[in-house]
Structure 1
Amino acid sequence: MNTGIVSYGAYIPRYRIKVEEIARVWGDDADSLSSGLMVHEKSVPDIDEDAATIAVEAARAALIRGGLDAGRIGAVYTGSESHPYAVKPTSTIVAEAVGATPDLTAADFEFACKAGTAAVQACMGLVASGNIDLGLAIGADVSQGAPGDALEYTAAAGGVAFLIGSKDSEMVAVIEDTYSFSTDTPDFWRREGMPYPEHGGRFTGEPGYFKHVTKAAEGLLKRLDTDPKEYDYAVFHQPNGKFPTRVAKMLGFSKEQIKPGLVVPRLGNTYSGSCLMGIAATLDQAEPGDRIFATAFGSGAGADAFSFRVTDRIEEVRNQAQTVEEMLEDPIYIDYAIYAKHKEKLKRA
């Protein structure tokens, strides 16, 4: 049974902080950071926003875009590394908020920045087996970065929801196949009770991101017997602008193929929503028949690769909800003091 995306929705907070503002506070070289990271600004959650509220907004957008009944949802899986509760699911909050019935399975996923794509794979299996009609897979984060840490320049807020189904008439993109590669690579972690994650320096790039993304991508290309030139678009996890640009070149994809989905320079790294956000931005522009190659990465470490084929239905649903580009427009810029307040970096006595 074919499975695919029957609808998608995204949510990005309007607040932004520029890299130069963060650098001003810590005395860093803003120009060097901005050009090196290929990130100019990042999204910041409002005071009353968290991973759950962002997931709800993205899920509502997906239901609106597809004109779908929430009662058909048989599974809700929310991937995040900033769930608001250590013990209480985000997914049950989402399910009730969007009007799904209690006759469903729900769980929260964690695998750093690829928890959202892991949720997609789980929904694919349940749909393909005939156990559920529609699965709701979400990647949403209000990602953390310690004050003055390198992560603070990119850790952003946002989320994306994909509704996964099997009816040919409903799919906006058929999932042709998926392939994963995972190892125990300690490049990034946050222990229980720690407010901010730590990163393993030299493990982040080569043994972390690049090894896993290339292995998953090459595995899927081999399985499908396809070549990068056979795809119209490509999306890779975006911790910054430099990494996806470099890995695309390593794999044989062009700058033109990744450009539509490379939203990180204006958004920052939305962690579990990062690769999904790139796919959503690409679907906002893709035409029927186009093929999209995508690979998500999660520290710890693993990567999920996907091949999508866009269908004629994209033309019907594309403009039924806000596009990623529309959500990136007209931002509200804040200074570091307001940013620190929004991110609760300052605590009342």
Structure 2
Amino acid sequence: MVGIVGYGAYIPRYRIKVEEIARVWNKDPEAIKKGLLVYEKAVAGLDEDTATIAVEAAKNALKRAEIDSKDIGAVYVGSESHPYAVKPTATIVAEAIDATPNLTAADLEFACKAGTAGIQICLGLVKSGMVKYGLAIGADTAQGAPGDALEFTAASGGAAYIIGNKDVIAHINDTFSYTTDTPDFWRREGKPYPRHGGRFTGEPAYFKHVINAAKGLMEKVGTKPEDYDYCVFHQPNGKFYIRVAKILGFKEEQYKYGLLTPYIGNTYSGAVPLGLSNILDKCEGGEKILAVSYGSGAGSDAFDIIVDEKIKKVKDRAKKTKEYIEEKEYIDYAIYAKFRKKIKM
């Protein structure tokens, strides 16, 4: 069985509260918190970007896997905020973790599901025998235009997964994807901030794809919502996440540990990988997990996962997701604007 051999998270320590952003733009913070179910978000510092986040997450994954980084034959970094328009983030990560140069590496982009697309690619490469281990990372320093609704949620963070077939701590039984051309969110070349088509965002985009991917996978593997101990979905905000979980028939005990957006914001490509890492931190072995990502444009990847008892030996080898969430330093809007380079010269 092919699956997760090691996993690791990273979330910057800086936070900005919804109230602070609302103060600057003269908006009602209580209405925003109620409407989005988001209270604060993680902000990358001046010396942080998608590459540094990906490296830290990868190092944590290696600590748990305890494998030789030279055995990693593939590195994929999924993000919509790569630091270079032309130069891969994946090569930076590979060099930083001292991987062999005899590997395949690439950056992936599919809005917020590029990280899970990397996991699927690594699954295929390991199953085919082309590589011994594959490293898939979902990381972002998400963009939101000043004053735009996205600014209240667009956050920074990411998680990394090492995929292999030896000493697997979580078996990925199967995966299923659902994809259409639905223009709900986009950013044109050279533009600093994305735009969103409001009427496409909910029903024809997020809900249609997440629901169809989840149902498609459950039909494929013969499972029902009650067969899962935990579930995690993409979370552009807390409201969408809880609504889709309930539509699919999941209860709070199943979905609450994967829901991180209220406390760190929407980390885009890092959202489902981070939610899954928080769930894995709590597992003891034997748990069954449903994970469903979503990327605007639009598509969803769903995974059926069974956790092995080996996870008890590895999960304490690296800093846990909850620790990153709890270690925080609040900043005001001026520092936030400086960190995120919102002031254009």
TM-score between the two structures when normalised by the length of structure 2: 0.99
Corresponding residue SS for 1:288: coil
Corresponding residue SS for 1:24: helix
* Residue in 2 that maps onto 1:191: 188
Amino acid at match of 2:171: V
Distance 1:52 1:127 in 2: 24
* Residue in 2 that maps onto 1:91: 90
* Residue in 2 that maps onto 1:319: 316
- Are positions 1:249 and 2:255 aligned together? no
* Residue in 2 that maps onto 1:41: 40
- Are positions 1:274 and 2:271 aligned together? yes
- Are positions 1:163 and 2:201 aligned together? no
* Residue in 2 that maps onto 1:304: 301
> How far has the Cα of 1:286 moved from its partner?
1.4
> How far has the Cα of 1:36 moved from its partner?
1.4
Distance 1:66 1:104 in 2: 19
* Residue in 2 that maps onto 1:66: 65
* Residue in 2 that maps onto 1:203: 200
- Runs of 4 or more consecutive aligned structure 1 residues displaced over 4 Å after TM superposition: none
**Deviations 1:182-220, CA, capped at 9 Å, x for gaps:** 000000000000000000001000000000000000000
Distance 2:291 2:122 in 1: 17
Root-mean-square deviation (Å) = 0.6
Amino acid at match of 1:88: K
Amino acid at match of 2:112: C
> How far has the Cα of 1:34 moved from its partner?
0.8
Corresponding residue SS for 2:294: strand
> How far has the Cα of 1:86 moved from its partner?
0.7
Distance 1:171 1:343 in 2: 38
Amino acid at match of 1:263: L
Corresponding residue SS for 1:82: coil
Distance 1:255 1:329 in 2: 22
Distance 2:18 2:120 in 1: 34
Corresponding residue SS for 1:284: helix
Amino acid at match of 1:155: A
* Residue in 2 that maps onto 1:124: 123
> How far has the Cα of 1:69 moved from its partner?
1.1
- Are positions 1:4 and 2:20 aligned together? no
* Residue in 2 that maps onto 1:32: 31
> How far has the Cα of 1:97 moved from its partner?
0.4
Corresponding residue SS for 1:100: coil
Unaligned runs of 5+ in 1: none
Mean Cα displacement is larger for which, 64-73 or 225-234? Answer: 64-73
**Deviations 1:53-92, CA, capped at 9 Å, x for gaps:** 1101100110012212101100000000000111110000
Aligned residues between the structures: 345
Corresponding residue SS for 1:194: coil
TM-score between the two structures when normalised by the length of structure 1: 0.98
**Deviations 1:133-189, CA, capped at 9 Å, x for gaps:** 00000000000000000000000000100000012xx11100010000000000000
* Residue in 2 that maps onto 1:179: 176
Amino acid at match of 1:99: D
> How far has the Cα of 1:287 moved from its partner?
2.0
Identity %: 63
Corresponding residue SS for 1:123: helix
Distance 2:252 2:135 in 1: 31
> How far has the Cα of 1:346 moved from its partner?
1.1
Corresponding residue SS for 1:282: helix
Distance 2:184 2:169 in 1: 35
Amino acid at match of 2:284: E
Matches within 5 A, 1:102-141: 102-141=101-140
Distance 1:291 1:225 in 2: 13
Distance 2:217 2:258 in 1: 20
Distance 2:169 2:334 in 1: 42
* Residue in 1 that maps onto 2:326: 329
> How far has the Cα of 1:52 moved from its partner?
0.6
> How far has the Cα of 1:35 moved from its partner?
1.6
